[in-house]
Amino acid sequence: MTNNMQMTRRTMLTGAAVAGALTPIIVATNAAKADDAHSTEALKPSRKPAVDLSKLPREKVELVKPPFVHAHDQKAKGGPKIKEFTLTIQEKKMVLDKEGTEINAMTFDGSVPGPLMVVHQDDYVELTLVNPETNTMQHNIDFHAATGGLGGGALTVVNPGDTTVLRFKATKAGVFVYHCAPPGMVPWHVTSGMNGAIMVLPRDGLTDGHGKPIVYDKVYYVGEQDFYVPRDANGKFKKYDSPGDAYEDTIAVMKTLTPTHIVFNGAVGALTGDNAMTAKVGETVLIIHSQANRDTRPHLIGGHGEYVWATGKFQNVPDIDQETWFIPGGTAGAAVYTFAQPGIYAYVNHNLIEAFELGAAAHFKVTGDWNDDLMTSVRAPSAS
């Protein structure tokens, strides 16, 4: 009976996704037939001649797990390239906190968020998307950096066992979200962890908007994720055998618009303690921060956003010396800071309830010499 129920649920979900995905195709096909019937040449869809990319150099990029970012040039060398990436979809159980709360996560390459991809403006992104036959769900990918085809979502619908290849030209400079977007199931897949970011650097590198180059020593990628875990009658978080089994209960929690967990990089404490991001006094760090679903307010306690692209678009002049910056849901932002003092810096969502009670917090562990001119204890705490 259980197996029958799982299969029925899987068939229902897959069928809904296929029906949704076919809708724009059916509409376009019917429109074309109508055009043929009326011989209205001006209304027929047209396609520009294919661009010959055969002579462009190709570069295969090995992605790494966030918060780390694969090696890349800050300034482009030579002309545009075809950057080849592979993402493998993994449906897996993940533990969110020290209490053992589980989520049936849907992920790109097994991490929440998925890996950060880096290219330069006018490069071509060529993505191989793999949905192993061991998965249970249909998936796709929507790049906010791409133009057309629902950001690639209309061209990349893959059932378990399928592989597809998408190529798009990175025409806009900035950091952008990507996420799974199967029709009829978009919020469920996104809030189950299936999102990441891509950084499209200007070919000449980052600047302050007035001609001054901005060069970073390190880059870290923080993906903020809201989870919606159902509870049982006693208030305990429930566990399920598969994403499909959790679907109805999870949707009900999602509709309350009240997350049970808001975390950085997949779990409470994923970027604290031994997992803290590291730097040295004098190092300039670029922090990429994405939130695919909800607004967020990053804040570096004890530091600043010296240059901030809150909506992540590098052709805009960055804000300077920000204490807290606002990143709208569905957006990736970027901030640069040169660490001036050693110590532990908390990096939080400055909705402090979400940071301290729900988990949206990380640490930077910075080494180096203390500068008394910047801060000193004039009198240690003591009884008067």
In the chain, count of helices (H) and strands (E)? 4, 21
Query: In whole angstroms, what is the distance from residue 177 CA to residue 195 CA?
Result: 7
Rg (CA), the chain: 23
Q: How far is CA 30 from CA 23, 24, 44, 270, in A?
A: 11, 10, 11, 50
Which residues are catalytic, by number?
139, 142, 144, 179-180, 189, 194, 299, 323-324, 350
Query: In whole angstroms, what is the distance from residue 105 CA to residue 113 CA?
Result: 11
User: Which tokens sit at 368?
Assistant: 């180096």
The residue to which tokens 């891509």 are assigned: 198
Q: How far is CA 15 from CA 24, 48, 138, in A?
A: 16, 34, 9
Give the closest residue to 89 by CA, choosing from 184, 223, 182, 200: 182
Give the closest residue to 162 by CA, choosing from 133, 199, 188: 133
- Tally of CB atoms within 10 A around 43: 12
